Structure 1
Amino acid sequence: MTTGADRRHPDGAGDGPGDEQAGRTGTEALLTSPPTPLPPLPADATPAEAAPAEAAPAEAAPADATLADGVLTDATPAGGTSAKETPAGATPPPDPFDQDDLPVAKGATRALLGALLRPHRGRVALTVLFLLLQQAAMQAGPLLVAYAIDQGVPAVRREDYGPLVALGTAYALCALGSGVFQFVYTKLSGRVSQDVLLDLRGRIFRHAQVLSVDFHERYTSGRLISRSTTDVESLRELLDEGLQELINTLLSFLSISVVLLVLDGWTGALAVLSFVPLYLLVRLYQRRAGRVFARRSTAIASVIVKFGETMNGIRPVRAFRREAVNDAEFDALNRKHERSNGDSLIEMARYVVGSRLVANTTIAAIVLWDAYRVADGTLALGTLAAAALYLRRLYDPIDRLGQFLNAYQSAAASLEKVAGLLAQEPGVPEPAVPRELPPARAGLPGRQVDFEDVSFSYRTGGEVLPRFGLRLDAGKTVAVVGSTGAGKSTLAKLLARFYDPTEGRVLLDGTDLRDLPMAELRRGVVMVTQEAFLFSGTIADNIAIGRPEASRAEIEQAAKAIGAHEFIAALPEGYDTDVRKRGGRISAGQRQLVAFARALLADPAVLILDEATSSLDIPGERAVQEAMETVLHGRTAVVIAHRLSTVAIADRVLVMSKGRVIEDGAPDQLIAGTGTFAGLHRTWRESLA
C-alpha cells in the first residue's frame, strides 16, 4: 500500500533536471547542510514530510548544522546565494537543445565529410579517373564534328572517304567509351556512397549509446532518428547525384573553355567572361538556400519527434481523447515543414531562371557574332558549328549544377547537425588511466560505497544535491525514502554513474567510479528502475542481457530465485517467447520480474532498486520481497522505496527531504521514534486497516 505522498508521483523523484528542486544526503559521521538557500517543498507535501524538525534528536540533525565528531556546529554561511542564479530581469540564453542547434566548430562539417571519405580515398581516386575518361570521350564529339565539316566533307567531294570514315569511327568509339566509363563510374561511386553512409549511421548509433543520460534527457530520440535517417539520406543524394554533377560541370567548364580558346580566342574569351555573373548567382543562392535548408532540417526533425512521441504514448492518447489535439499539433508542424520545403524550391527556381537567362543570352550573342564572322570570311563554318555545340554543352550543366547546389545545401545543413551531435562529449567518459577494483572480501559479494564531499547540479542550472558525505557498508541494504524531489533517484544515478558529481568523489571499495572502466563498473553496479524496459526478443535473451554467455540453466535458476519461472513456463513458448516491442506481450508486473531476474543473473556487487516494485500488485510484491531477501543477501543494496512495505528488508533507512538526510537509522528505531518516518509508517499502517 502506498502513502498519499507516494501516489502523487508514480515516476519517482529526481529523474531529470525538472524533477528535483533539491537533494541531499548524510553520513554516519558527517551531515553537512547546503551552502545555499533551498526552495520549499512542493505544495502537495504532507505535514509529515514538511516537519523534519519534529524528529527525535537522536534521529535527525537541524537543517543548519554539521555533525562532526559528535559536536553540532553551524554550517550555513550567512547570506549565501546560488552561483547559478539568473540575474533579475535577465533573459536566459536559448537552450541549443531546445532549438535543435547543437554548437559545432567552424569547419567541422568539412572535417566530418573528409573523415568519412578518407578510408576510401583509393576508390575515390579511381572513381574520379573514370569520370575524367568519360568526360574526355564525351567532349571529343563536337571537335570531331568540326573536323568532319572542315576536312571530311571537302575530302568526300574529292571522292576521298577515308577522313570521314575515320572521324565517324572515332565518334562512335567516343560515344561507346563514354557509356562504358559512365557505367564503371556509377558502380564505383555507388559502392563508395553506401560504405560512407554505413559508416556515418554506425558513428551516430555508437556515439549516441555512449552519451550520458543527461544528454538523452534533453535530446529527444526523435531527433536522433532524424539524424540517422533524414540527414543521412541528404548525404546520400549528394554522394550519388550531386558530386557527379559538380565534377561534370567543373570538367566541362575547364575542358570546353580550353577547346573554345583554341578554336577561336574571341569566342572562348566571351564564354569564359559569361561565368562571372553565373558565379555571383551561385554565391547568392548558397547564402539564401543555406538558411532555408537549416530550417527545413529542423522542421522535419520536429515532425518525426511528434510522430514518435504520439505513437509511443498511444495509450494515454486514446484514454484522454487527445487524437484531435495531436492531429492539430502535427498538422501545424507538418505545414511548417511544407513551408520550409517550399522555400527551398523557390530558391532553386530563382537560381534556374537566372542561370538560364544568362546562358541563353550569352549563347545567342556569341552565335550571332560568329555567324557574322563566318559570312565575313574570318571564321570557318566548322568552327562555328563546333562552337555552337560546345556552348550548349558548356551551359547545359548549369541547370544540373543547380541540382548539385540543392543537394549540397541540404547535405551541408544535415551534416552540420550530425557534426553537432558527434561533437557532444560523453558526460561520463571512460577513464584515461583505468584502474581495477581490489579483490572482494571472501564470502561477501558486496562492496563499500563512499560519497566523499559530493555535490551535484544539472547543466541547466540549480543545485540538486549540496555537498554531503555518506558511507554505505558492504553487504548492507539501505532504503531511501522521502517526498518527490528530495533527491533519492539522483543519489542512485550518481552511484550507478549515470551522472558524475559536480564536486567530490563516489568510491567503490576506495576506487573512484571515474577511474573504473565502464564495462567493469556496469558488471559491479546494476540498477533496476521503475520502468522495466525489455527489448524485442525472447525472455531468455532479456534475462541474459547482463551476461550474454549465461547458459539456459543459469537463466532459469535466476528466474526461479526471483519467482518468475512459473509465469514464464506458462507462456506458449516458455523462455523462448518473443516479448515483442518494449515487452508488450507480458504485463507490467511480469516485465518487472524479468528485470529482477536480469539483475540477479548479472551478479553485481551493488544493486540499486529505484522504486522497482511500484508496478507490482500486492501478491506480486510479496513474492518479489521474499526473493529479494535472497537476492540482496551479502550485496550492497540501495532501495529507493515507493512503498513502505519494501523498507522491511532494509538494514538501514535514510529519510530525505529538501535535499537533506533528516533521519538515519534502523527501521525499528525510526518507527519507535516521533520523526518523519514514524509518521509516514503510521499513515501507511492505518491505510492497511
Structure 2
Amino acid sequence: MIFNIGTKKKWFRHRIRNGGNCLSGKKIKEESRHLKRFHYTVDTVIDKPFNWKQIWRLMQYVKPYAKTYLPGAITAMLISTIIRLTVPILVGKVAIDMAIRDENPALLTYLVFIIGILYVFNYAANVFRIKWVNHLGQNVIYDLRQHLFSHVQRLSHRFFDSRSAGSILVRILNDVNSLQELFTNGIISLLMDMVTLVGIIIILFVLSPPLALAVVIVIPLMFYISTKLRKNIRRSWQEVRMHQSRLNSHLNESLQGMRITQSFSQEEENAEFFSGVNKGYFNSFRIAAKKSAMFRPLVELSDAIGTVILIAYGSYLLLLGPENGGIAIGTFVSFAFFLGMFWEPISRLGQMYNQLLMAMASSERIFEFLDEKPNVKEKDNAYSLEQIEGNIAFENVEFSYQSDRIALKDISLDIEAGQTIALVGHTGSGKSTIANLISRFYDPTKGNVLIDGHNLRDVSLDSLRSQISVVLQDTFIFSGTIMENIRFGRPNATDQEVMEAAKVVGADDFISRLNNGYDTEVEERGNILSAGERQLLSFTRALLANPRIIILDEATASIDTESEVRIQNALRELLKGRTSIIIAHRLSTIRDADVIFVLENGSILEQGNHEALLEKEGKYYHLVKSQFHMLDAI
C-alpha cells in the first residue's frame, strides 16, 4: 500500500484509537465491521454454551497414552488419598479416644510410627503420580500441537487470505500451551479432589450425621453462586485469547514491516498503537483474572461459615457426650481435621473449574481451526497423477475470490507440453489467478482445468504439486544453510545434485564466493543475500525439484539490469523442455514466449507470439509502446 505521510498519520490515528478497545464488550460487531474496511482479520468471541462434549473431544488425545501412564497415576492418587483420609481417623479415634484417654503410651508410640510410615508412602505415591501425569500431559500437548500444525498446512489459500500469521501463531502456541496445566496436572487432580471430597463426606456422616449435615449445608449455596459466574468467566477468557491474537498479529506485522516504519519515521505512532493493543490485552486479562479470583474468597467464606458451625454446634454435641447422642473429643478433633481438608479440594475444584473454562476457551479456538475444511480438497477416490507431459487446458473457466467480484470470465486456453507462454496485463487482470488454478491452490467457480486430460479435481494434490514449481517475485528464503534452502525443492537430493543444479542456473558463482560456500547460514528471509542472489537460489530450488510445469509469477520484477543478464541465462536453462507459464511486465522476459496471452478484467483480449501481437497494434502493442516510452524518459 502506497500513501502519503498525511494519509498515513490519519491511518495510524485510527489504529491507535481502536487498538485498545476495538474488540471489547458490546462494540465487537460494530468495530469488527469498521476494521474490515482496513482489511484486518478480527478474531471474535466464540459464544457457545459450556458443553462436556468439547472437553470429551479433548480427552480423545489422552487415549493413546491412557494404558501407559493413567493406571499408575490413578493408583498412586488413590494410595495418597486413602492415606490422607486415614490419618485424621487414627489421630482422633485411636490416639485421643483410645491411647490418650486410656493412658496407653505404647499404643501412642506405635501410632506415631505407623503415621510416619504412611506419610513416607504418601510421599512416594505423589512422586510417581507427578512423574506419570507430566509424561502424559507433555505427550498429549505434543500430539495436539503437531495435529493442529499439520492440519493448518493442508488448508487452502483462502484460509490464509483471511487470517493474519499472528492469529494463527496464537492458536498453535498460546492456546495449546494454555491446555498444558489441564493435561499435566488437572485431570488427575480433579479425580483426586473428587475422591477426597466424597470420602470426607462419607466419613463425616459416619462419625456424626447431625454435625456433618450442619457443616455441609452451605455447599449448595456456594455452588449456586459459582454457577452464576460460569458463563461470564468463560467469555472473559475468550476475550483474553482474542486480544492476545491481535497483539501477536500486530507484533508480526510490525517486525516484518520495520524497515517501512523506520523509513517513514513512524516509530512513535507505531509504539502508540502497540500501547493501545497491549492495553486491550492487559485490561481483558485483568477483568478475567478478577472474575476468576472470586472463587477463592467464596470458598474461604464457606470455610469460615463451616468452622463457626463446627465450633458452635460441635461444642454443644461435645458437652452432651456420646451417651446422650453427642460426640466424643476424638470425633470432634477428627471433624476439625476433615473440615480443614474438606474446603481444600472444594477450593481446588473451583480453581480447576477456572482452568476448565480457560481450556474451554482455548479448545474452542483450536477446534475452530481443526474443523476448518480445505476449500480445495481431494476426493475420496482421487488418484495419483503419474509423470505428466505438461499439456494444460482451461475449459470455460470462471473464478471469483468473492461472490461480488469475478476474477476470471469464461477463460478457455490450450497450452501444449514444452511450450513457454506468457500472461500479460494490468494488475488485477487475472494473471496470477490462472497460475493459482494450475497449481490447484483454488478451484474454478465454473468450468474445468485439465493437465494431460486429467481434471485437477480428480487427482491427488501431492502428485500434482510435486510436478509443478512456482517461483514468486518475493522469494522466500528459510533460516538455515544455502544447501538446505536449495534442497527444499527435493529433500532427498544429494549434495552433488544440489551443486549441479546451482551450476546450471549460474548460482554456483556467488555461492562459492561466500565464506562457507553451500554451508553458509542465511538469516531469516535471506537478508544477507541480494535480491538477484535470492532469485537465483529460488531458480536452483525449482530446477532441483525437476518439475514438468514451472510458473514464474513476476519472478524478475525486482531484479536490477545487471542481475537480469544472469537471470535470463538461468531462465533459459530452467525452462528448457518444460511447460512454462511466465507472468511478467518486462519485455525481455516475455518476448521469446511461444504464445502471449493478453488479459484485461479477467478475460483474454489477445493471444499470439510477440511479432504477431505487435502487428495487430492492439492492447499488447500499446503495453510495449508505453514501456519503451518509460525507458526513453529514463
Say yes or no: TM over 0.5.
yes
Which residue of 331, 346, 353 corresponds with 1:383? 331
Which residue of 149, 154, 158 corresponds with 1:214? 158
Runs of at least 5 residues in structure 1 that lack an aligned partner in the other structure: 1-6, 10-90, 441-445
| SS of 2:522 mapped into structure 1 | coil
> Which deviations, in whole Å up to 9, do the C-alpha atoms of 1:110-167 show, x marking residues without a partner?
24312211111122233122111111111111111112111111332xxx43432332
Which residue of 81, 91, 104 corresponds with 1:145? 91
| SS of 1:527 mapped into structure 2 | strand
* Shift in Å, 1:8: 9.1
The amino acid across from 1:181 in the alignment is A
* Corresponding position: 1:172 with 2:119: no
| SS of 2:271 mapped into structure 1 | helix
* Corresponding position: 1:223 with 2:199: no
The amino acid across from 1:383 in the alignment is T
> Which deviations, in whole Å up to 9, do the C-alpha atoms of 1:287-311 show, x marking residues without a partner?
2210110000111111111111111
Which residue of 467, 472, 477 corresponds with 1:534? 477
* Shift in Å, 1:460: 6.6
Q: Which residue is equivalent to 1:592?
A: 535
Instruction: Judge conservation of contact 1:613–1:621 (CA < 8 Å) in 2.
Output: yes
Q: Which residue is equivalent to 2:422?
A: 479
Which residue of 235, 244, 249 corresponds with 1:300? 244
> Which deviations, in whole Å up to 9, do the C-alpha atoms of 1:11-60 show, x marking residues without a partner?
xxxxxxxxxxxxxxxxxxxxxxxxxxxxxxxxxxxxxxxxxxxxxxxxxx
Instruction: Judge conservation of contact 1:127–1:189 (CA < 8 Å) in 2.
Output: yes
The amino acid across from 2:343 in the alignment is Y
- In structure 2, what is the Cα distance between the partners aligned to 1:260 and 1:685? 96
> Which deviations, in whole Å up to 9, do the C-alpha atoms of 1:574-602 show, x marking residues without a partner?
12211121111111111011101111111
Q: Which residue is equivalent to 2:374?
A: 426
Quote the sequence identity (%).
31
The amino acid across from 1:475 in the alignment is G
Instruction: Judge conservation of contact 1:281–1:355 (CA < 8 Å) in 2.
Output: no
Q: Which residue is equivalent to 1:509?
A: 452
The amino acid across from 2:102 in the alignment is A
**Structure 1's 409 and 403: CA in aligned 2 closer, same or farther, altered over 3 A?**
same
Instruction: Judge conservation of contact 2:45–2:239 (CA < 8 Å) in 1.
Output: no
- In structure 2, what is the Cα distance between the partners aligned to 1:194 and 1:462? 47
**Structure 1's 107 and 263: CA in aligned 2 closer, same or farther, altered over 3 A?**
closer
> Which deviations, in whole Å up to 9, do the C-alpha atoms of 1:295-350 show, x marking residues without a partner?
00111111111111111111111111121111111111111111111112211232
**Structure 1's 200 and 110: CA in aligned 2 closer, same or farther, altered over 3 A?**
same
- In structure 1, what is the Cα distance between the partners aligned to 2:156 and 2:603? 26
Q: Which residue is equivalent to 2:517?
A: 574
**Structure 1's 107 and 483: CA in aligned 2 closer, same or farther, altered over 3 A?**
farther
- In structure 2, what is the Cα distance between the partners aligned to 1:368 and 1:312? 68
Q: Which residue is equivalent to 1:403?
A: 351
* Corresponding position: 1:202 with 2:146: yes
- In structure 2, what is the Cα distance between the partners aligned to 1:104 and 1:492? 40
Q: Which residue is equivalent to 1:415?
A: 363
**Structure 1's 460 and 310: CA in aligned 2 closer, same or farther, altered over 3 A?**
farther
The amino acid across from 2:363 in the alignment is L
Instruction: Judge conservation of contact 1:108–1:416 (CA < 8 Å) in 2.
Output: no
**Structure 1's 120 and 97: CA in aligned 2 closer, same or farther, altered over 3 A?**
farther
Q: Which residue is equivalent to 1:279?
A: 223
Q: Which residue is equivalent to 2:60?
A: 115
* Shift in Å, 1:359: 2.2
Q: TM-score, normalised by structure 2?
A: 0.89
Q: Which residue is equivalent to 2:14?
A: none
| Regions of 4+ moved over 4 Å | 91-97, 100-108
- In structure 1, what is the Cα distance between the partners aligned to 2:336 and 2:527? 69
| SS of 1:453 mapped into structure 2 | strand
The amino acid across from 1:119 in the alignment is P
Instruction: Judge conservation of contact 2:45–2:235 (CA < 8 Å) in 1.
Output: no
The amino acid across from 1:149 in the alignment is I
* Corresponding position: 1:635 with 2:578: yes
Which residue of 259, 282, 298 corresponds with 1:354? 298
Give the alignment's Cα RMSD to 1 decimal.
Answer: 2.4
Q: Which residue is equivalent to 1:518?
A: 461
- In structure 2, what is the Cα distance between the partners aligned to 1:360 and 1:103? 36
| SS of 1:155 mapped into structure 2 | coil
* Shift in Å, 1:436: 3.6
Instruction: Judge conservation of contact 1:523–1:546 (CA < 8 Å) in 2.
Output: no
Which residue of 65, 76, 96 corresponds with 1:130? 76
Instruction: Judge conservation of contact 1:102–1:420 (CA < 8 Å) in 2.
Output: no
**Structure 1's 327 and 627: CA in aligned 2 closer, same or farther, altered over 3 A?**
same
- In structure 2, what is the Cα distance between the partners aligned to 1:474 and 1:114? 52
Runs of at least 5 residues in structure 2 that lack an aligned partner in the other structure: 4-32
Report the more deviating stretch, 114-123 or 526-535: 114-123
Q: Which residue is equivalent to 2:503?
A: 560
**Structure 1's 487 and 548: CA in aligned 2 closer, same or farther, altered over 3 A?**
same
Q: Which residue is equivalent to 2:132?
A: 188
> Which deviations, in whole Å up to 9, do the C-alpha atoms of 1:480-507 show, x marking residues without a partner?
0111111111111111111122222211
Which residue of 631, 639, 647 corresponds with 2:590? 647
Instruction: Judge conservation of contact 2:592–2:610 (CA < 8 Å) in 1.
Output: no
- In structure 1, what is the Cα distance between the partners aligned to 2:487 and 2:445? 34
Q: Which residue is equivalent to 1:47?
A: none
**Structure 1's 354 and 436: CA in aligned 2 closer, same or farther, altered over 3 A?**
closer
The aligned runs of 1:601-616 (5 Å cut-off) are: 601-616=544-559
* Shift in Å, 1:241: 4.0
* Shift in Å, 1:108: 6.1
* Corresponding position: 1:261 with 2:205: yes
- In structure 1, what is the Cα distance between the partners aligned to 2:241 and 2:346? 26
Q: Which residue is equivalent to 2:234?
A: 290
* Shift in Å, 1:231: 1.2
Instruction: Judge conservation of contact 2:487–2:498 (CA < 8 Å) in 1.
Output: yes
> Which deviations, in whole Å up to 9, do the C-alpha atoms of 1:202-260 show, x marking residues without a partner?
11211121111221121211112211221122111223343354333312210000000
- In structure 2, what is the Cα distance between the partners aligned to 1:333 and 1:509? 52
**Structure 1's 108 and 513: CA in aligned 2 closer, same or farther, altered over 3 A?**
farther
Report the more deviating stretch, 355-364 or 651-660: 355-364
Q: Which residue is equivalent to 2:101?
A: 154
The aligned runs of 1:491-506 (5 Å cut-off) are: 491-506=434-449
Instruction: Judge conservation of contact 2:375–2:442 (CA < 8 Å) in 1.
Output: yes
Q: TM-score, normalised by structure 1?
A: 0.82
- In structure 2, what is the Cα distance between the partners aligned to 1:239 and 1:631? 51
- In structure 1, what is the Cα distance between the partners aligned to 2:618 and 2:363? 58
* Corresponding position: 1:626 with 2:569: yes
**Structure 1's 107 and 161: CA in aligned 2 closer, same or farther, altered over 3 A?**
closer
**Structure 1's 527 and 102: CA in aligned 2 closer, same or farther, altered over 3 A?**
farther
| SS of 2:606 mapped into structure 1 | strand
Instruction: Judge conservation of contact 1:543–1:601 (CA < 8 Å) in 2.
Output: yes
Q: Which residue is equivalent to 1:464?
A: 407
| SS of 1:425 mapped into structure 2 | coil
- In structure 1, what is the Cα distance between the partners aligned to 2:381 and 2:185? 46
> Which deviations, in whole Å up to 9, do the C-alpha atoms of 1:369-410 show, x marking residues without a partner?
111111122221111111111111101233333322222221
The amino acid across from 1:624 in the alignment is I
Report the more deviating stretch, 268-277 or 213-222: 268-277
The amino acid across from 2:166 in the alignment is G
- In structure 1, what is the Cα distance between the partners aligned to 2:348 and 2:205? 24
